[in-house]
Amino acid sequence: MKLTWGAEEEAFRAELLAFLDAEVPEEIKGGRDWIGDESPEIPKWASEFQAKLFDHGWMVPSYPPELGGRNATPLQTLIFLEELASRGVSRSVHFGGYAIVGPSLLEFGNEQQKGMAPSAIRGDTVWCVGMSEPDAGSDLASLQTRAVPDGDSFIVTGQKVWTSYAMVAEKCFCYVRTDTSVAKHKGISVLIIDMDSPGLEVRPLRHLTGAIEFAEVFLNEVVVPKENLVGELNSGWRITMGSLAHERGALWVESVSSAQRALEGLVEIARRQGLEQDGVVRRKLAELYEEVHSLRALGYKGFASFAQGSSAPEHSFMKLATSELRQRIYGFGMELQGPYAAVVDPEFVEEGGRWQQSWQISLAGTIGGGTSEIQRNVVATRVLGLPRG
């Protein structure tokens, strides 16, 4: 049996590949990961590439052209994400705008707010998402940043933390408490807050790698017009679910493909270090290979259900499995370098320290967007139907 794609899908792929060949910026060509650096600014090449993707209908292909897409089918979206991922190309370095804020404004915003979605997706307006607080991360419903009504405005006071790109964002999609008298998840609302508002202060935080990518955000009696409320008052909990629903069935592809590329890199290191005949190394590589390919098969199985309009419980497992797998792959890449694993001087280590940096970043992958422990709870209760602990 020979499995092939249809002519329409192949035409879609050919057009995409021609675009990528012509337009992928030098900085990320050849699968080179962009790790970020000491500058909090979004690089110009990244903004230009995002805008180009939007203008050519390749930013969110399942959306219509006015939202940076081309009404792509689920199958075409899968092809799109696979081709990008196999080349290590990311659409944007600040995913909050196109992946969270844009879709949420389209789903929950009023007409004026819906009108802000195209620039969020194109990256013309940089957004940050203010959910986490010092005492509300996994348990987001415990957030305490208060918004108190005052005439035509809310007065907002509190603190956010780990807010990606807050240093450069123009607007914050901010989760605030608007009612303290009801169950905690029922008293949350979302406000659009201008980042240059008086009383708002941003203090950058560094990753382990030294890159500045997120920040603490302090809000001290910040005045926010009531018209900046997104959706109904106290309906914020529903909005936490807003994201790229069109792509949900295929988003796992990026993380599986990135694990696969890292694995291919591991084989190269083993060769360069003269370890390709080492039995322990070969066994470990084979195990990782098996894991990557099993996850890809599981992802496809879930996609088949998603494309037919059914839920795909397999996908609940993918974030957990791929983020932990990547951590192990990068960790093994360091192990293969022997004592140099602990060296950060790019002159002495494999690929200028890429493995050390990627391993450090992979630690964040098991925290952001829901920690591994929380993902395990989700799989246990929602997929396996086990009782809550």
Ligand X SMILES: Cc1cc2nc3c(=O)[nH]c(=O)nc-3n(C[C@H](O)[C@H](O)[C@H](O)COP(=O)(O)OP(=O)(O)OC[C@H]3O[C@@H](n4cnc5c(N)ncnc54)[C@H](O)[C@@H]3O)c2cc1C
CB of 113 to ligand X, least distance (A): 19
CB 201 within 8 A of CB 158: no
CA 250 to chain centre: 13
The answer to whether 102 contacts ligand X (rule: CB under 6 A) is no
Nearer to ligand X, 86 or 144 (CB): 144
247 a catalytic residue? yes
The binder of ligand X chosen from 290, 352, 368, 384 (CB under 6 A): 368
Helix, strand or coil, per DSSP, at residue 279: helix
CA 247 to chain centre: 12
CB 260 within 8 A of CB 292: yes
Nearer to ligand X, 131 or 288 (CB): 131
Using CB atoms within 10 A of its CB, is residue 248 exposed (0-12), middle (13-18) or buried (19+)?
A: middle
- Restricting to residues 175-214, name those near ligand X by CB under 6 A: 214
Only one of the segments 55-63, 72-80, 156-164, 297-305 lies at the binding site for ligand X (rule: CB under 6 A); that segment is: 156-164
CB 328 within 8 A of CB 363: no
Cα 219 to Cα 199: distance, rounded to the nearest angstrom: 6
Binding mask 158-177 for ligand X (x = CB under 6 A): ----xxx-------------
CB 34 within 8 A of CB 46: yes
Catalytic residue (one of 247, 254, 291, 314): 247
- Restricting to residues 37-66, name those near ligand X by CB under 6 A: none
Cα 189 to Cα 180: distance, rounded to the nearest angstrom: 12
The answer to whether 154 contacts ligand X (rule: CB under 6 A) is no
The binder of ligand X chosen from 377, 378, 380, 383 (CB under 6 A): 377
- Restricting to residues 80-99, name those near ligand X by CB under 6 A: 96
The binder of ligand X chosen from 36, 57, 74, 137 (CB under 6 A): 137
Cα 306 to Cα 382: distance, rounded to the nearest angstrom: 17
The binder of ligand X chosen from 47, 50, 77, 132 (CB under 6 A): 132
Cα 227 to Cα 357: distance, rounded to the nearest angstrom: 43
What are phi and psi for residue 234, nearest 5 degrees? 65, 20
The answer to whether 373 contacts ligand X (rule: CB under 6 A) is yes
* Residues in touch with ligand X (CB under 6 A): 96, 128-132, 137-138, 162-164, 214, 364, 367-368, 371, 373-374, 377
* Residues designated as active site: 247
